[in-house]
Amino acid sequence: MNRLPDSELVLVPGGTLITASAEEGRALALKFARHTIHNLQPDLDVLKGGRPNYSTNPDSLIAAGQVVAIEFQTIAAANNYWR
Amino acid sequence: MNRLPDSELVLVPGGTLITASAEEGRALALKFARHTIHNLQPDLDVLKGGRPNYSTNPDSLIAAGQVVAIEFQTIAAANNYWR
Amino acid sequence: MNRLPDSELVLVPGGTLITASAEEGRALALKFARHTIHNLQPDLDVLKGGRPNYSTNPDSLIAAGQVVAIEFQTIAAANNYWR
Amino acid sequence: MNRLPDSELVLVPGGTLITASAEEGRALALKFARHTIHNLQPDLDVLKGGRPNYSTNPDSLIAAGQVVAIEFQTIAAANNYWR
Amino acid sequence: MNRLPDSELVLVPGGTLITASAEEGRALALKFARHTIHNLQPDLDVLKGGRPNYSTNPDSLIAAGQVVAIEFQTIAAANNYWR
Amino acid sequence: MNRLPDSELVLVPGGTLITASAEEGRALALKFARHTIHNLQPDLDVLKGGRPNYSTNPDSLIAAGQVVAIEFQTIAAANNYWR
Protein backbone atom coordinates (compact mmCIF):
# COMPACT_ATOMS: atom_id res chain seq x y z
CA MET A 1 0.00 0.00 0.00
CA ASN A 2 1.24 3.42 -1.02
CA ARG A 3 0.22 5.18 2.17
CA LEU A 4 -0.42 8.93 2.20
CA PRO A 5 2.05 10.95 4.31
CA ASP A 6 0.89 11.73 7.84
CA SER A 7 0.34 15.38 6.95
CA GLU A 8 -2.46 14.32 4.62
CA LEU A 9 -4.16 12.38 7.38
CA VAL A 10 -4.39 15.15 9.97
CA LEU A 11 -8.12 15.71 10.41
CA VAL A 12 -7.90 19.41 11.30
CA PRO A 13 -4.92 20.86 9.41
CA GLY A 14 -3.61 23.76 11.49
CA GLY A 15 -5.41 22.43 14.55
CA THR A 16 -8.11 25.10 14.68
CA LEU A 17 -11.32 26.16 12.96
CA ILE A 18 -10.37 29.81 13.27
CA THR A 19 -9.01 31.43 10.12
CA ALA A 20 -7.91 34.93 9.23
CA SER A 21 -10.36 35.32 6.35
CA ALA A 22 -13.37 33.79 4.67
CA GLU A 23 -11.15 32.69 1.80
CA GLU A 24 -8.93 30.76 4.19
CA GLY A 25 -12.00 29.36 5.91
CA ARG A 26 -13.22 28.02 2.63
CA ALA A 27 -9.84 26.55 1.82
CA LEU A 28 -10.01 24.80 5.19
CA ALA A 29 -13.43 23.39 4.29
CA LEU A 30 -11.90 21.86 1.18
CA LYS A 31 -9.09 20.38 3.25
CA PHE A 32 -11.56 18.96 5.77
CA ALA A 33 -13.44 17.21 2.99
CA ARG A 34 -10.23 15.86 1.48
CA HIS A 35 -8.63 14.72 4.70
CA THR A 36 -11.74 12.84 5.79
CA ILE A 37 -11.52 10.88 2.59
CA HIS A 38 -7.81 10.31 3.15
CA ASN A 39 -8.63 8.76 6.49
CA LEU A 40 -11.30 6.55 5.00
CA GLN A 41 -8.99 5.50 2.17
CA PRO A 42 -5.31 6.21 2.93
CA ASP A 43 -3.91 4.40 -0.11
CA LEU A 44 -2.74 7.03 -2.58
CA ASP A 45 -2.85 4.62 -5.49
CA VAL A 46 -6.51 3.86 -4.89
CA LEU A 47 -7.32 7.55 -4.57
CA LYS A 48 -5.48 8.34 -7.79
CA GLY A 49 -7.21 5.46 -9.51
CA GLY A 50 -10.63 6.87 -8.68
CA ARG A 51 -9.78 10.46 -9.54
CA PRO A 52 -10.40 10.26 -13.33
CA ASN A 53 -13.93 8.96 -12.76
CA TYR A 54 -14.76 11.34 -10.00
CA SER A 55 -13.28 14.51 -11.39
CA THR A 56 -14.93 14.25 -14.78
CA ASN A 57 -18.37 13.32 -13.48
CA PRO A 58 -20.58 16.34 -12.80
CA ASP A 59 -22.67 14.46 -10.25
CA SER A 60 -19.60 13.46 -8.26
CA LEU A 61 -18.32 17.02 -8.34
CA ILE A 62 -21.68 18.32 -7.12
CA ALA A 63 -21.69 15.76 -4.30
CA ALA A 64 -18.19 16.83 -3.28
CA GLY A 65 -19.32 20.45 -3.45
CA GLN A 66 -22.09 19.62 -1.02
CA VAL A 67 -19.63 18.25 1.52
CA VAL A 68 -17.57 21.42 1.22
CA ALA A 69 -20.71 23.50 1.75
CA ILE A 70 -21.52 21.63 4.97
CA GLU A 71 -17.97 21.87 6.29
CA PHE A 72 -17.98 25.57 5.51
CA GLN A 73 -21.15 26.09 7.55
CA THR A 74 -19.30 24.89 10.60
CA ILE A 75 -16.15 26.89 9.94
CA ALA A 76 -18.09 30.06 9.14
CA ALA A 77 -20.08 29.78 12.37
CA ALA A 78 -16.85 29.16 14.32
CA ASN A 79 -15.46 32.39 12.91
CA ASN A 80 -18.66 34.31 13.54
CA TYR A 81 -18.83 34.71 9.76
CA TRP A 82 -15.73 36.96 9.71
CA ARG A 83 -18.07 39.90 10.35
CA MET B 1 -5.04 21.54 -19.78
CA ASN B 2 -7.20 24.56 -20.47
CA ARG B 3 -6.98 26.01 -16.97
CA LEU B 4 -9.69 28.34 -15.69
CA PRO B 5 -8.54 31.92 -15.03
CA ASP B 6 -7.58 32.67 -11.43
CA SER B 7 -10.70 34.75 -10.94
CA GLU B 8 -12.79 31.59 -11.34
CA LEU B 9 -10.79 29.81 -8.67
CA VAL B 10 -11.19 32.34 -5.87
CA LEU B 11 -13.16 30.50 -3.20
CA VAL B 12 -14.91 33.58 -1.76
CA PRO B 13 -15.45 36.02 -4.62
CA GLY B 14 -15.46 39.51 -3.11
CA GLY B 15 -13.72 38.19 0.01
CA THR B 16 -16.72 38.45 2.32
CA LEU B 17 -20.00 36.73 3.15
CA ILE B 18 -21.68 40.08 3.70
CA THR B 19 -23.87 41.31 0.87
CA ALA B 20 -26.09 44.31 0.37
CA SER B 21 -29.24 42.30 -0.32
CA ALA B 22 -30.75 38.84 -0.21
CA GLU B 23 -30.60 38.73 -4.00
CA GLU B 24 -26.85 39.34 -3.91
CA GLY B 25 -26.49 36.81 -1.12
CA ARG B 26 -28.15 34.21 -3.23
CA ALA B 27 -25.98 35.07 -6.22
CA LEU B 28 -22.98 34.57 -3.96
CA ALA B 29 -24.31 31.14 -2.96
CA LEU B 30 -24.37 30.19 -6.62
CA LYS B 31 -20.80 31.44 -7.03
CA PHE B 32 -19.66 29.48 -3.98
CA ALA B 33 -21.08 26.29 -5.42
CA ARG B 34 -19.50 26.95 -8.81
CA HIS B 35 -16.08 27.98 -7.54
CA THR B 36 -15.81 24.92 -5.31
CA ILE B 37 -16.29 22.80 -8.39
CA HIS B 38 -13.74 24.89 -10.28
CA ASN B 39 -11.21 24.11 -7.59
CA LEU B 40 -12.00 20.42 -7.69
CA GLN B 41 -11.81 20.39 -11.50
CA PRO B 42 -9.99 23.43 -12.91
CA ASP B 43 -9.88 22.23 -16.51
CA LEU B 44 -12.42 24.25 -18.47
CA ASP B 45 -12.62 21.67 -21.23
CA VAL B 46 -13.61 18.95 -18.80
CA LEU B 47 -16.20 21.19 -17.19
CA LYS B 48 -17.66 22.11 -20.56
CA GLY B 49 -17.69 18.47 -21.57
CA GLY B 50 -19.81 17.55 -18.57
CA ARG B 51 -22.19 20.48 -18.88
CA PRO B 52 -24.58 18.97 -21.48
CA ASN B 53 -25.16 15.91 -19.27
CA TYR B 54 -25.50 17.84 -16.09
CA SER B 55 -27.62 20.73 -17.27
CA THR B 56 -30.25 18.60 -18.99
CA ASN B 57 -30.62 16.07 -16.19
CA PRO B 58 -33.27 17.05 -13.62
CA ASP B 59 -31.62 15.01 -10.87
CA SER B 60 -28.29 16.75 -11.41
CA LEU B 61 -29.99 20.13 -11.35
CA ILE B 62 -31.79 19.26 -8.13
CA ALA B 63 -28.51 18.12 -6.57
CA ALA B 64 -26.87 21.39 -7.58
CA GLY B 65 -29.86 23.24 -6.17
CA GLN B 66 -29.28 21.51 -2.87
CA VAL B 67 -25.70 22.74 -2.69
CA VAL B 68 -26.89 26.28 -3.36
CA ALA B 69 -29.49 25.94 -0.60
CA ILE B 70 -26.82 24.90 1.90
CA GLU B 71 -24.43 27.67 0.88
CA PHE B 72 -27.27 30.15 1.18
CA GLN B 73 -28.00 29.04 4.74
CA THR B 74 -24.52 30.15 5.71
CA ILE B 75 -24.63 33.43 3.84
CA ALA B 76 -28.10 34.28 5.12
CA ALA B 77 -27.05 33.65 8.72
CA ALA B 78 -23.91 35.76 8.18
CA ASN B 79 -26.11 38.63 7.04
CA ASN B 80 -28.58 38.16 9.87
CA TYR B 81 -31.11 37.35 7.14
CA TRP B 82 -31.02 40.96 5.83
CA ARG B 83 -33.71 41.79 8.39
CA MET C 1 -32.91 28.90 -26.93
CA ASN C 2 -36.35 29.56 -25.47
CA ARG C 3 -35.14 31.64 -22.54
CA LEU C 4 -37.23 31.94 -19.41
CA PRO C 5 -38.57 35.44 -18.73
CA ASP C 6 -36.47 37.54 -16.32
CA SER C 7 -39.08 37.19 -13.60
CA GLU C 8 -38.33 33.47 -13.45
CA LEU C 9 -34.64 34.14 -12.99
CA VAL C 10 -34.83 36.46 -9.99
CA LEU C 11 -33.09 34.56 -7.21
CA VAL C 12 -35.09 36.05 -4.34
CA PRO C 13 -38.61 36.74 -5.64
CA GLY C 14 -39.97 39.67 -3.62
CA GLY C 15 -36.46 40.61 -2.55
CA THR C 16 -36.77 39.50 1.05
CA LEU C 17 -36.83 36.38 3.21
CA ILE C 18 -39.51 37.89 5.44
CA THR C 19 -43.04 36.66 4.82
CA ALA C 20 -46.37 37.29 6.47
CA SER C 21 -47.05 33.65 7.31
CA ALA C 22 -45.50 30.20 7.45
CA GLU C 23 -47.56 29.25 4.40
CA GLU C 24 -46.03 32.09 2.42
CA GLY C 25 -42.61 31.20 3.75
CA ARG C 26 -42.98 27.70 2.48
CA ALA C 27 -44.19 28.94 -0.90
CA LEU C 28 -41.05 31.07 -1.03
CA ALA C 29 -38.93 27.99 -0.31
CA LEU C 30 -40.47 26.31 -3.33
CA LYS C 31 -39.73 29.38 -5.44
CA PHE C 32 -36.14 29.47 -4.23
CA ALA C 33 -35.63 25.88 -5.28
CA ARG C 34 -37.23 26.48 -8.64
CA HIS C 35 -35.45 29.73 -9.43
CA THR C 36 -32.05 28.25 -8.62
CA ILE C 37 -32.72 25.61 -11.21
CA HIS C 38 -33.89 28.26 -13.66
CA ASN C 39 -30.55 30.00 -13.26
CA LEU C 40 -28.64 26.79 -13.80
CA GLN C 41 -30.74 25.90 -16.83
CA PRO C 42 -32.60 28.91 -18.26
CA ASP C 43 -33.87 27.16 -21.39
CA LEU C 44 -37.58 26.52 -20.91
CA ASP C 45 -37.62 23.80 -23.55
CA VAL C 46 -34.94 21.82 -21.75
CA LEU C 47 -36.75 22.22 -18.44
CA LYS C 48 -40.03 21.10 -19.96
CA GLY C 49 -38.28 18.16 -21.60
CA GLY C 50 -37.00 16.92 -18.25
CA ARG C 51 -40.26 17.47 -16.39
CA PRO C 52 -42.00 14.18 -17.36
CA ASN C 53 -39.04 12.16 -16.04
CA TYR C 54 -38.60 14.16 -12.92
CA SER C 55 -42.20 14.60 -11.88
CA THR C 56 -43.15 10.95 -12.18
CA ASN C 57 -40.07 9.60 -10.40
CA PRO C 58 -40.54 9.28 -6.63
CA ASP C 59 -36.80 9.56 -5.96
CA SER C 60 -36.57 12.80 -7.92
CA LEU C 61 -39.57 14.19 -6.07
CA ILE C 62 -38.02 13.25 -2.73
CA ALA C 63 -34.76 14.91 -3.73
CA ALA C 64 -36.62 18.07 -4.69
CA GLY C 65 -38.49 17.89 -1.41
CA GLN C 66 -35.17 17.85 0.39
CA VAL C 67 -34.07 21.06 -1.29
CA VAL C 68 -37.33 22.71 -0.27
CA ALA C 69 -36.81 21.52 3.32
CA ILE C 70 -33.35 23.11 3.43
CA GLU C 71 -34.53 26.38 1.91
CA PHE C 72 -37.38 26.47 4.39
CA GLN C 73 -34.97 26.11 7.32
CA THR C 74 -33.37 29.38 6.28
CA ILE C 75 -36.62 31.20 5.67
CA ALA C 76 -38.17 29.96 8.92
CA ALA C 77 -35.14 31.12 10.92
CA ALA C 78 -35.25 34.49 9.15
CA ASN C 79 -38.85 34.90 10.27
CA ASN C 80 -38.15 33.70 13.79
CA TYR C 81 -40.49 30.81 12.98
CA TRP C 82 -43.52 33.14 12.77
CA ARG C 83 -43.89 32.71 16.51
CA MET D 1 -55.69 14.70 -14.28
CA ASN D 2 -56.98 13.38 -10.99
CA ARG D 3 -56.02 16.41 -8.94
CA LEU D 4 -55.44 16.10 -5.22
CA PRO D 5 -57.98 17.98 -3.06
CA ASP D 6 -56.87 21.45 -1.93
CA SER D 7 -56.37 20.24 1.63
CA GLU D 8 -53.52 18.07 0.42
CA LEU D 9 -51.84 21.02 -1.25
CA VAL D 10 -51.69 23.36 1.73
CA LEU D 11 -47.98 23.80 2.39
CA VAL D 12 -48.28 24.35 6.15
CA PRO D 13 -51.24 22.29 7.38
CA GLY D 14 -52.63 24.08 10.44
CA GLY D 15 -50.86 27.27 9.42
CA THR D 16 -48.20 27.20 12.12
CA LEU D 17 -44.98 25.45 13.07
CA ILE D 18 -45.99 25.43 16.73
CA THR D 19 -47.33 22.12 18.04
CA ALA D 20 -48.45 20.90 21.44
CA SER D 21 -45.97 18.04 21.61
CA ALA D 22 -42.90 16.54 19.98
CA GLU D 23 -45.07 13.74 18.61
CA GLU D 24 -47.28 16.29 16.86
CA GLY D 25 -44.23 18.14 15.66
CA ARG D 26 -42.90 15.03 14.06
CA ALA D 27 -46.27 14.31 12.47
CA LEU D 28 -46.14 17.81 11.02
CA ALA D 29 -42.68 17.10 9.59
CA LEU D 30 -44.12 14.12 7.77
CA LYS D 31 -46.95 16.27 6.45
CA PHE D 32 -44.52 18.93 5.28
CA ALA D 33 -42.55 16.36 3.32
CA ARG D 34 -45.70 14.92 1.79
CA HIS D 35 -47.36 18.20 0.91
CA THR D 36 -44.24 19.50 -0.80
CA ILE D 37 -44.37 16.48 -3.05
CA HIS D 38 -48.08 17.03 -3.62
CA ASN D 39 -47.30 20.52 -4.85
CA LEU D 40 -44.58 19.26 -7.16
CA GLN D 41 -46.84 16.49 -8.48
CA PRO D 42 -50.53 17.15 -7.77
CA ASP D 43 -51.84 14.26 -9.85
CA LEU D 44 -53.01 11.55 -7.48
CA ASP D 45 -52.79 8.87 -10.13
CA VAL D 46 -49.15 9.59 -10.78
CA LEU D 47 -48.39 9.59 -7.08
CA LYS D 48 -50.20 6.30 -6.59
CA GLY D 49 -48.40 4.84 -9.58
CA GLY D 50 -45.01 5.63 -8.03
CA ARG D 51 -45.91 4.44 -4.57
CA PRO D 52 -45.23 0.69 -5.07
CA ASN D 53 -41.68 1.43 -6.26
CA TYR D 54 -40.94 3.98 -3.65
CA SER D 55 -42.42 2.28 -0.62
CA THR D 56 -40.71 -1.05 -1.16
CA ASN D 57 -37.28 0.38 -1.92
CA PRO D 58 -35.13 0.84 1.19
CA ASP D 59 -33.04 3.58 -0.43
CA SER D 60 -36.15 5.57 -1.30
CA LEU D 61 -37.48 5.17 2.22
CA ILE D 62 -34.16 6.33 3.66
CA ALA D 63 -34.16 9.35 1.36
CA ALA D 64 -37.68 10.21 2.47
CA GLY D 65 -36.59 9.75 6.07
CA GLN D 66 -33.86 12.29 5.49
CA VAL D 67 -36.36 14.89 4.32
CA VAL D 68 -38.45 14.28 7.42
CA ALA D 69 -35.34 14.68 9.61
CA ILE D 70 -34.58 18.07 8.03
CA GLU D 71 -38.17 19.29 8.33
CA PHE D 72 -38.20 18.19 11.95
CA GLN D 73 -35.06 20.23 12.70
CA THR D 74 -36.95 23.33 11.74
CA ILE D 75 -40.12 22.46 13.61
CA ALA D 76 -38.20 21.40 16.74
CA ALA D 77 -36.27 24.69 16.78
CA ALA D 78 -39.51 26.61 16.28
CA ASN D 79 -40.94 24.92 19.36
CA ASN D 80 -37.77 25.41 21.39
CA TYR D 81 -37.56 21.61 21.43
CA TRP D 82 -40.69 21.31 23.60
CA ARG D 83 -38.41 21.73 26.63
CA MET E 1 -50.63 -6.80 5.49
CA ASN E 2 -48.51 -7.76 8.47
CA ARG E 3 -48.79 -4.41 10.22
CA LEU E 4 -46.14 -3.30 12.69
CA PRO E 5 -47.36 -2.99 16.29
CA ASP E 6 -48.39 0.51 17.34
CA SER E 7 -45.29 0.90 19.51
CA GLU E 8 -43.17 0.81 16.37
CA LEU E 9 -45.21 3.59 14.79
CA VAL E 10 -44.89 6.16 17.57
CA LEU E 11 -42.93 9.01 16.00
CA VAL E 12 -41.27 10.20 19.21
CA PRO E 13 -40.72 7.14 21.41
CA GLY E 14 -40.80 8.34 25.02
CA GLY E 15 -42.55 11.53 23.95
CA THR E 16 -39.61 13.86 24.47
CA LEU E 17 -36.30 14.88 22.89
CA ILE E 18 -34.68 15.17 26.29
CA THR E 19 -32.47 12.26 27.32
CA ALA E 20 -30.27 11.54 30.30
CA SER E 21 -27.10 11.07 28.29
CA ALA E 22 -25.53 11.50 24.87
CA GLU E 23 -25.61 7.74 24.41
CA GLU E 24 -29.37 7.72 24.98
CA GLY E 25 -29.74 10.71 22.69
CA ARG E 26 -28.00 8.86 19.94
CA ALA E 27 -30.15 5.79 20.51
CA LEU E 28 -33.17 8.03 20.15
CA ALA E 29 -31.81 9.36 16.84
CA LEU E 30 -31.67 5.80 15.57
CA LYS E 31 -35.24 5.22 16.73
CA PHE E 32 -36.40 8.40 15.03
CA ALA E 33 -34.90 7.27 11.75
CA ARG E 34 -36.44 3.83 12.07
CA HIS E 35 -39.90 4.94 13.16
CA THR E 36 -40.16 7.42 10.31
CA ILE E 37 -39.59 4.57 7.93
CA HIS E 38 -42.13 2.46 9.80
CA ASN E 39 -44.69 5.17 9.23
CA LEU E 40 -43.87 5.39 5.55
CA GLN E 41 -44.00 1.60 5.19
CA PRO E 42 -45.84 -0.08 8.07
CA ASP E 43 -45.86 -3.56 6.54
CA LEU E 44 -43.29 -5.65 8.41
CA ASP E 45 -43.03 -8.17 5.60
CA VAL E 46 -42.03 -5.49 3.11
CA LEU E 47 -39.51 -4.04 5.54
CA LYS E 48 -38.01 -7.46 6.18
CA GLY E 49 -37.91 -8.13 2.46
CA GLY E 50 -35.83 -5.03 1.85
CA ARG E 51 -33.50 -5.58 4.78
CA PRO E 52 -31.05 -8.00 3.08
CA ASN E 53 -30.44 -5.52 0.26
CA TYR E 54 -30.18 -2.51 2.45
CA SER E 55 -28.09 -3.92 5.26
CA THR E 56 -25.41 -5.39 3.04
CA ASN E 57 -25.05 -2.37 0.77
CA PRO E 58 -22.45 0.13 2.02
CA ASP E 59 -24.12 3.03 0.20
CA SER E 60 -27.46 2.29 1.82
CA LEU E 61 -25.82 2.06 5.23
CA ILE E 62 -24.05 5.38 4.67
CA ALA E 63 -27.34 6.99 3.64
CA ALA E 64 -29.02 5.66 6.77
CA GLY E 65 -26.09 6.95 8.79
CA GLN E 66 -26.69 10.39 7.34
CA VAL E 67 -30.29 10.40 8.52
CA VAL E 68 -29.15 9.43 12.01
CA ALA E 69 -26.59 12.25 11.96
CA ILE E 70 -29.28 14.79 11.10
CA GLU E 71 -31.69 13.49 13.73
CA PHE E 72 -28.90 13.61 16.29
CA GLN E 73 -28.19 17.27 15.50
CA THR E 74 -31.71 18.09 16.62
CA ILE E 75 -31.63 15.92 19.72
CA ALA E 76 -28.19 17.18 20.75
CA ALA E 77 -29.30 20.80 20.43
CA ALA E 78 -32.47 20.03 22.42
CA ASN E 79 -30.29 18.68 25.23
CA ASN E 80 -27.86 21.57 25.04
CA TYR E 81 -25.28 18.96 24.06
CA TRP E 82 -25.38 17.33 27.50
CA ARG E 83 -22.76 19.85 28.62
CA MET F 1 -22.78 -14.18 12.65
CA ASN F 2 -19.38 -12.74 13.47
CA ARG F 3 -20.66 -10.02 15.78
CA LEU F 4 -18.63 -6.89 16.39
CA PRO F 5 -17.36 -6.49 19.96
CA ASP F 6 -19.51 -4.32 22.22
CA SER F 7 -16.93 -1.54 22.17
CA GLU F 8 -17.64 -1.06 18.47
CA LEU F 9 -21.36 -0.73 19.12
CA VAL F 10 -21.25 2.06 21.69
CA LEU F 11 -23.01 4.97 20.02
CA VAL F 12 -21.08 7.73 21.79
CA PRO F 13 -17.56 6.42 22.44
CA GLY F 14 -16.28 8.18 25.55
CA GLY F 15 -19.83 9.10 26.51
CA THR F 16 -19.56 12.80 25.75
CA LEU F 17 -19.48 15.23 22.83
CA ILE F 18 -16.86 17.36 24.57
CA THR F 19 -13.30 16.91 23.35
CA ALA F 20 -10.00 18.54 24.19
CA SER F 21 -9.27 19.70 20.65
CA ALA F 22 -10.77 20.12 17.20
CA GLU F 23 -8.66 17.21 16.00
CA GLU F 24 -10.20 14.96 18.63
CA GLY F 25 -13.62 16.32 17.82
CA ARG F 26 -13.17 15.34 14.23
CA ALA F 27 -11.92 11.90 15.19
CA LEU F 28 -15.11 11.54 17.24
CA ALA F 29 -17.18 12.50 14.20
CA LEU F 30 -15.57 9.66 12.28
CA LYS F 31 -16.30 7.29 15.13
CA PHE F 32 -19.92 8.42 15.27
CA ALA F 33 -20.35 7.69 11.59
CA ARG F 34 -18.72 4.30 11.92
CA HIS F 35 -20.53 3.20 15.05
CA THR F 36 -23.92 4.09 13.61
CA ILE F 37 -23.17 1.75 10.75
CA HIS F 38 -22.00 -0.90 13.19
CA ASN F 39 -25.37 -0.70 14.90
CA LEU F 40 -27.22 -0.97 11.63
CA GLN F 41 -25.07 -3.89 10.52
CA PRO F 42 -23.23 -5.55 13.42
CA ASP F 43 -21.88 -8.49 11.42
CA LEU F 44 -18.17 -7.91 10.88
CA ASP F 45 -18.04 -10.29 7.94
CA VAL F 46 -20.71 -8.36 6.07
CA LEU F 47 -18.97 -5.07 6.81
CA LYS F 48 -15.64 -6.43 5.60
CA GLY F 49 -17.32 -7.84 2.52
CA GLY F 50 -18.64 -4.41 1.54
CA ARG F 51 -15.43 -2.55 2.31
CA PRO F 52 -13.64 -3.21 -1.03
CA ASN F 53 -16.55 -1.75 -2.99
CA TYR F 54 -17.10 1.16 -0.72
CA SER F 55 -13.52 2.20 -0.11
CA THR F 56 -12.51 2.26 -3.76
CA ASN F 57 -15.60 4.09 -4.99
CA PRO F 58 -15.19 7.88 -4.96
CA ASP F 59 -18.93 8.46 -4.70
CA SER F 60 -19.19 6.23 -1.65
CA LEU F 61 -16.24 7.99 -0.04
CA ILE F 62 -17.82 11.39 -0.71
CA ALA F 63 -21.10 10.19 0.80
CA ALA F 64 -19.27 8.97 3.90
CA GLY F 65 -17.45 12.30 4.04
CA GLN F 66 -20.79 14.04 4.09
CA VAL F 67 -21.93 12.09 7.12
CA VAL F 68 -18.71 13.00 8.91
CA ALA F 69 -19.26 16.66 8.04
CA ILE F 70 -22.75 16.58 9.57
CA GLU F 71 -21.58 14.78 12.71
CA PHE F 72 -18.77 17.31 13.06
CA GLN F 73 -21.24 20.20 12.92
CA THR F 74 -22.88 18.87 16.06
CA ILE F 75 -19.64 18.15 17.88
CA ALA F 76 -18.12 21.52 16.95
CA ALA F 77 -21.20 23.35 18.23
CA ALA F 78 -21.14 21.29 21.44
CA ASN F 79 -17.55 22.42 22.00
CA ASN F 80 -18.31 26.03 21.12
CA TYR F 81 -15.92 25.53 18.20
CA TRP F 82 -12.91 25.16 20.54
CA ARG F 83 -12.58 28.96 20.45
Mean of all residue pLDDT scores within chain B: 97
Q: Calculate mean pLDDT across residues F22-38.
A: 98
Residue pair B55/C40 in contact by the 8 Å Cβ criterion: yes
Can you list the residues of chain D whose pLDDT is less than 50?
Answer: none
The model carries a pTM of 0.98
Q: What is the mean pLDDT of residues C7-32?
A: 98
Please, what is the angle between helix B58-78 and helix B44-55, to 10°? 110
Mean pLDDT of chain F: 97
Chain C residues with beta carbon closer than 8 angstroms to that of B81: 17-18, 74, 77-78
So what's the pLDDT on residue D25?
Answer: 98
Query: Does F46 touch chain E if contact means CB atoms closer than 8 Å?
Result: yes
Question: Given its phi and psi angles, is residue C10 left (phi above 0), alpha (psi -120 to 50 degrees) or beta?
Answer: beta
CB D72 within 8 A of CB D25: yes
Closest partner CB to A66 (pick from B46, B67, B74): B67
Q: What is the DSSP letter of C11?
A: S
Task: Report the C-alpha dihedral over residues D42, D48, D53, D56, rounded to 10 degrees.
Answer: 110
| Ramachandran class of A21: left when φ > 0, alpha when ψ lies in -120 to 50, beta otherwise | beta
Residue E75: pLDDT band with limits 50, 70, 90 = very high
Report CB contact under 8 Å: E69, F70.
Answer: yes
Contact flag for B and A (3+ C-beta pairs < 8 Å): yes
- Residues of B with CB below 8 A from C36's CB? 26, 30, 64-65, 68-69
Specify the pLDDT at position E47: 96
Does E touch C (3+ CB pairs < 8 Å)? no
CA dist A41 and F56 (Å) reads 8
Chain D residues near residue E52 by CB distance under 8 angstroms? none
Size of interface A-F (CB pairs under 8 A): 90
Instruction: Report the pLDDT value the prediction gives residue C58, as an integer from 0 to 100.
Output: 97
